[in-house]
Structure 1
Amino acid sequence: MPKQYRTLAGRALLHYTLAAFDACSEFAQTLVVLAPDDSHFDARRFAGLRFAVRRCGGGSRQASVLNGLLELAEFGATDHDWVLVHDAARPGITPELIRTLVAALKDDPVGGIVALPVADTLKRVPAGGDAIARTESRDALWQAQTPQMFRIGMLREAILQAQREGHDLTDEASAIEWAGHTPRVVQGSLRNFKVTYPEDFALAEAILARPANAS
């Protein structure tokens, strides 16, 4: 089963993201982009939450985001409206972090992302090997998270430009940078980590079982 549908602390992993955005009534719509052949999604698991579903996912994150942006016009969204793109695999997102991002960027000409300064020492290892080639400086490095917040029109055109030039970028800020703009970073949260490895599920479950403001 895809990880976004795994049950953690009594709910599907995706439920936590939908609930966080549902708690932010200032948003006009939450759009869930699914792969056309996704047979695991069951709307009944998310009853009571505001969201729409479109089965327009593409072959990559970049393609799925672009398709989702195009679908937003159906809901009355304009190029000047803000959009926040979030990974379903980050269930630790909270309404407070979403609102912090929006408050920091709502008057910005470009937009930006939540991120954390890199804390660990970074080692470069050649592909396929296990020998350390060198230690990389972590000075001024930040680890990108989501949500990532940009104007719909700017993000759409940035992704289209990246596609035309043969690039498949791994986050929205990369596309914005590729188009020559300078996104901002807003302090994120360790709680908002991406569930990636098998052992991450136990950690996420422990976090989600506690209130977001628990010490």
Structure 2
Amino acid sequence: MSKHVQCWGVVPAAGVGVRMLATRPKQYLEVAGASLLRHSLRALLACDDIRGIMVAVSPDDPRAAELAGLARVQTTPGGAQRADSVLAALHALQPLAADDDWVLVHDAARPCIDPADIRRLMVQVESSGSGALLAEPVVDTIKQVDSAGRVEKTLDRRHLWRAQTPQMFRLGELAGALAGARQAGVEVTDEASAMEWAGYPVMVVPGSSRNLKVTTPGDLEVAAFYLGGDAAIVAPEA
């Protein structure tokens, strides 16, 4: 990256991951000898151009202390929704960073991201000057259905991509887009959708299928395969 424009990481990690049916938030489930969150942070930290990482955690998270020993990593209280946590992390970064600095927002539960893909995203964003996200072309046939489960039509998958993270945008622009969407009552499920709503151009950079998001217990086994280790046994809640 340019010496005058810096890059920062943001990781929203205040969620509880209810679909994992586990006794702890899914970002702290272990696979291949470390938590999902640790694996995700290690991938970001492997990129020397990322000056620091702000992790948004639950205000009453007793496990957040385990991040204290990681160089270039800080924590801040997150919010009820992903967008709230990302916005809180951006506000926490503002005393350290400039509005035109870049931020890479990465899911805590995407532990298999290849640092080479992160670097490729950074290079393409710097080259184009436009924000972008890693994404994967849809290869399945996609059906649009109505509320009763009846197929209405088949979508043209040539124009469909599955969004991944990191998603990389200017700090000031992303903070403004998220705050504006919240004020307008617009629900955004990722940073790119907030930037789209605010009228900014957003590009896709082809990612890898190994950059899966751990959402269900079966995903842990897939992550273990990619990371070359064992998956933790997910204990269901009583």
Do these two structures clear the TM 0.5 threshold for a shared fold by scoring above it?
A: yes
Partner residue, 1:79? 99
Q: Tell me how far 1:47 sits from its aligned partner.
A: 4.6
Q: Secondary structure at the match of 2:50?
A: coil
Partner residue, 1:60? 81
Runs of 4+ with deviation above 6 angstroms:
none
Give the Cα–Cα distance (whole angstroms) in 1 for the partners of residues 48 and 190 of structure 2: 26
Give the Cα–Cα distance (whole angstroms) in 1 for the partners of residues 178 and 216 of structure 2: 28
Give the Cα–Cα distance (whole angstroms) in 2 for the partners of residues 80 and 41 of structure 1: 29
Alignment pair present for 1:30 and 2:53: yes
Partner residue, 1:126? 146
Counterpart amino acid of residue 53 in structure 1: T
Counterpart amino acid of residue 176 in structure 1: M
Structure 1 residues 6, 49: closer, same or farther in 2, change over 3 A?
A: farther
Counterpart amino acid of residue 98 in structure 1: I
Identity %: 44
* 1:1-215 equivalences in 2 (<5 Å): 1-43=24-66, 47-55=69-77, 57-74=78-95, 76-127=96-147, 129-209=148-228
Q: Secondary structure at the match of 2:167?
A: strand
Q: Tell me how far 1:68 sits from its aligned partner.
A: 0.7
Give the Cα–Cα distance (whole angstroms) in 2 for the partners of residues 189 and 134 of structure 1: 28
How many pairs align? 206
**Matched-pair contact (CA < 8 Å) for 1:14–1:88:** yes
**Matched-pair contact (CA < 8 Å) for 2:133–2:164:** yes
**Considering only aligned residues, what root-mean-square deviation do their CA atoms show, in Å?**
1.7
Q: Tell me how far 1:132 sits from its aligned partner.
A: 3.3
**Matched-pair contact (CA < 8 Å) for 1:114–1:145:** yes
With normalisation by structure 1, the TM-score equals: 0.89
**Matched-pair contact (CA < 8 Å) for 1:5–1:41:** no
| Structure with greater strand share of residues | 2
Q: Tell me how far 1:181 sits from its aligned partner.
A: 1.4
CA deviation profile, 1:40-76 (whole Å, cap 9, x unmatched) = 33416x8555311112x111111111111000023x2
Counterpart amino acid of residue 200 in structure 2: H
With normalisation by structure 2, the TM-score equals: 0.81
Q: Tell me how far 1:182 sits from its aligned partner.
A: 1.3
Give the Cα–Cα distance (whole angstroms) in 1 for the partners of residues 163 and 181 of structure 2: 19
Give the Cα–Cα distance (whole angstroms) in 2 for the partners of residues 73 and 83 of structure 1: 11
**Matched-pair contact (CA < 8 Å) for 1:19–1:49:** no
Residue segments in structure 2 that go unaligned for 5+ positions in a row: 1-23, 230-238
Give the Cα–Cα distance (whole angstroms) in 1 for the partners of residues 105 and 217 of structure 2: 24
CA deviation profile, 1:105-148 (whole Å, cap 9, x unmatched) = 11433311000111111122334x44434322212111110000
Counterpart amino acid of residue 41 in structure 1: A
Question: Which of structures 1 and 2 has the larger relative contact order (alpha carbons within 8 angstroms, sep 6+)?
Answer: 2
CA deviation profile, 1:132-178 (whole Å, cap 9, x unmatched) = 34322212111110000000011111112212211120011111111
